[in-house]
Structure 1
Amino acid sequence: MFAGSTAEGAALLRAAGALLRDRNLRGPDRLAADMIPWALRASALVKVPVIRRIMPWAIERRMPGSVWFELARTKYMDDVLRAELAAGTTQVVLLGAGFDTRAYRMPELTGANVFEVDHPVTAARKQARLRGRDIGHVRYVTIDFNREDLATRLAANGYDSTAKSVVIWSGVAPYLPAGAVSGTLRWMSTQAPDSCLVFDYVWQELVDGQVATRLARTLLKAVNRQGEPFRSGIPRGRTTEFLAEHGLAVQEDNGPDSFDPYVTRTDGSAVGPVWDFGGIVRCRVPQ
C-alpha cells in the first residue's frame, strides 16, 4: 500500500512530482516528502535517497495518470493563488487542507491571512510533521464537518467574511456526499463579492460507474480499497449550470485537454496519461 489516507496519498503524489528530473515538468512541492511518515509501507520510500527517484514511475505503473493529474492540479492551483494575491486578495482559506504546504513554501503568502481548515486529528498530525518550521502566520481552524458549522468556526478564528478571499479546495469534493458539497458551495456564495474558489471534481458518471476506461477502473478500485470511495461529482459538461445553481460563476473549467502546459517536458513533449474523468474549476462570487 502506498499511503494510509487520501490526504497522505495526495502528499505522496506531490512528493513524487517534486522528484522529477526535468525542471519544466518537476512539481513545486519540495516539502511534501516531509508530510509522509516513516512507516512500513511503500510511501516511505519517497524519503530514501537514490530509491526515491523511481517513485514517480513506480506510482504511475500502479496508478496510471495519478502523478500527472496531481502535477497539473498543484501547479494550476498555485497559479490561481498567485494571481488572486497579486490582484489584491489578502485572505486565503485552505479548505480540507490535509498536508497542503502552500503556506510554508510559497513566499507570495507572506503577509496574507491564511486559514487552514481540517479535522483536528489531521491538523495535529500536520503540525507535528512541520515541527521546526515557522507556522506562526497560519491559523489552524479545526472542525468536525459532521457536527460543526464552517462559517462559525472560521469567524471564531478571525476570518472576515466581508473581505475578498481565495479558497483552495483540493482533493476533497469527490469524497464528500452531495449535500456536503452543496453546503460548502452555498457557504462560498455568501462570501465577499469577487471572492474566488478553485476546486477539483470528478464526473458524476464516474461515481455512478458509467465510465469504463482503464484509468477510471484502476482509480475506483484504489479509493474503494482504502475505504474512501468517491461519493459525488458534477455531471459531465454541466459545471457552469451546477455552480450557477449554487450562486457561483465559472471563470475557468479545466478538463484534461487544458493540462498540457503543466505536464510538458523542457523539450516540449507531454507526459501522460492524465486522469480524464473530471476537471479543475475556478469560480467566483458574482459582483
Structure 2
Amino acid sequence: MGNGATRTAVGPIAFVAVDQRDGNPLVRDELAHRFLPAGVRPLVALTRFRPVRRWLINATERKMPGIWASTLCRKCYIDDRFADAVRAGVEAVVILGAGFDTRAHRRPDPHRTRVYEVDLPENIDRKRKLLRGRLGESVALVPVDLESGELPAALSAHGYRPEQPTLFIAEAVTPYMAGESVRAMFEFLASAAAGSRLVCTFLRESFLDGTSLRGGEALHEEYVVRRKLWRFGLDPERIGDFLAGYGWRQVEQLGPQEYADRYLAPAGRSMPVAALETAVYAEKR
C-alpha cells in the first residue's frame, strides 16, 4: 500500500482529536491527541474555542464537503458493531489497516477479547512508540502490508487462530488497494469461522470512475487523479453479491442519510455527510 497510504492515517485521527473539544463528541477518545504531528497540536488545542473549531471544520469542508461527519459517523458505526460482537462473545477482533485509530483502547472490555491490529510496518512502529505502556497483553500489533499476500502468516505468528469466531474490521482500507489485492484479502476472509462478523467500508465505484462525484471533485482530483491512492470501489447494489462470493451474508448498509439519522440527529448535530463511501455489516454463513 506504500508511503502514500501511510501518510493518510493522520487525517481521521485528527478529526477525532478536534471533536474531543466539543462538549458532546461523537467519538470519545482520550488518546487521539497523541498521534497529531507536533506542528498541528497547537491549532488543535485552540479548537477548544468554538469559533476556532468551526473555522477549522468549515475550512476542511470547503475542500472536502461532508468528510468531517462521514469520518466520525463511520467510526461510531464500527464502534457499535464492535460492542455488539463483544457482547455476543466473539473470541477475537482483527482490525485490517488499523492506522492510528485507538478503537482497541476505547472498547467495552479492555482486557478480555484479543485484538489484532494489522497495518503497514511504519504505522505499527509509530503506534507502538506512542502507546507505550497502554497496549497491554490483549492487543497485538501486526506489521504487514495487506497487499503483500502475507496476512495469514503474519496473524498466525502473533497467535491468531482462524477457527475462532472473529470480528473483522476494514475501515477505509479497500480504496487504497488494487482490485486483485482486495480479492486476495477476501479469499482469506472466506476461511473465517462460522459466527464471524465483518464491518467494512467501500468507496463508491461511481466516485472512483468520476461518473458521480457528488461534490467530491477536489477529493477525486487529489486522491484518484493526482496521487493515485484510491484504486478500488464497488457499486453499493453489488456489494452484497461481492460478499456472498466469499461466504458472507450482508446484513445492512449505511450511507449519508443513515449516518445522519443514527448519529448526528441524536447528538444535535447538523452537518453534511459525504456520499463517497458505503459502510457494510455482514455475517459469515
* Normalised TM-score (structure 2): 0.88
- The answer for unaligned runs of 5 or more in structure 2 is none
Summarize the Cα distance change of 1:137–1:272 in structure 2 as closer, same or farther, 3 Å threshold.
same
2:20 maps to what in 1?
18
SS at 2:237's partner residue? coil
Counterparts of 1:123-134 in structure 2, within 5 Å, are 123-134=124-135
* Deviation for aligned residue 1:203: 1.2
2:44 maps to what in 1?
46
* Deviation for aligned residue 1:180: 1.1
Alpha-carbon RMSD: 2.3
2:73 maps to what in 1?
72
Q: After TM superposition, where is structure 1 displaced by more than 6 Å over at least 4 residues in a row? A: none
* Deviation for aligned residue 1:18: 2.7
Summarize the Cα distance change of 1:132–1:228 in structure 2 as closer, same or farther, 3 Å threshold.
farther
* Deviation for aligned residue 1:225: 8.0
User: Structure 1, residues 17-59: CA drift from partner, whole Å, max 9, x if none?
Assistant: 33333x2x632233212111203xx576224464663443443
Is residue 83–residue 108 contact of structure 2 (8 Å, CA) maintained in 1? no
Is residue 254–residue 281 contact of structure 1 (8 Å, CA) maintained in 2? yes
1:241 maps to what in 2?
241
SS at 1:128's partner residue? helix
* Deviation for aligned residue 1:175: 1.3
Following the alignment from structure 1 to structure 2, what is the Cα–Cα distance between the partners of residues 206 and 65?
Answer: 14
SS at 1:249's partner residue? strand
SS at 1:262's partner residue? helix
Is residue 8–residue 99 contact of structure 1 (8 Å, CA) maintained in 2? yes
User: Structure 1, residues 146-194: CA drift from partner, whole Å, max 9, x if none?
Assistant: 4342111111110010010001111111111111111111211111012
Following the alignment from structure 1 to structure 2, what is the Cα–Cα distance between the partners of residues 195 and 4?
Answer: 28
- The answer for unaligned runs of 5 or more in structure 1 is none
SS at 1:14's partner residue? helix
* Deviation for aligned residue 1:285: 1.3
* Deviation for aligned residue 1:202: 1.2
Summarize the Cα distance change of 1:44–1:171 in structure 2 as closer, same or farther, 3 Å threshold.
farther
1:176 maps to what in 2?
177
Is residue 165–residue 194 contact of structure 2 (8 Å, CA) maintained in 1? yes
Counterparts of 1:99-110 in structure 2, within 5 Å, are 99-110=100-111
1:92 is the counterpart of 2:93: yes
1:218 is the counterpart of 2:218: yes
SS at 1:257's partner residue? helix
Is residue 121–residue 144 contact of structure 2 (8 Å, CA) maintained in 1? yes
Deviates more, 1:106-115 or 1:192-201: 106-115
Summarize the Cα distance change of 1:126–1:273 in structure 2 as closer, same or farther, 3 Å threshold.
same
Deviates more, 1:139-148 or 1:156-165: 139-148
Is residue 91–residue 165 contact of structure 1 (8 Å, CA) maintained in 2? yes
* Normalised TM-score (structure 1): 0.88
Following the alignment from structure 1 to structure 2, what is the Cα–Cα distance between the partners of residues 27 and 87?
Answer: 22
1:156 maps to what in 2?
157
Aligned residues: 277
The letter of the residue matching 1:242 is: F
1:264 maps to what in 2?
265
* Deviation for aligned residue 1:96: 0.8
Summarize the Cα distance change of 1:211–1:106 in structure 2 as closer, same or farther, 3 Å threshold.
same
* Deviation for aligned residue 1:110: 2.2
Is residue 173–residue 232 contact of structure 1 (8 Å, CA) maintained in 2? yes
User: Structure 1, residues 64-92: CA drift from partner, whole Å, max 9, x if none?
Assistant: 21110012101000000000110011201
The letter of the residue matching 1:278 is: E
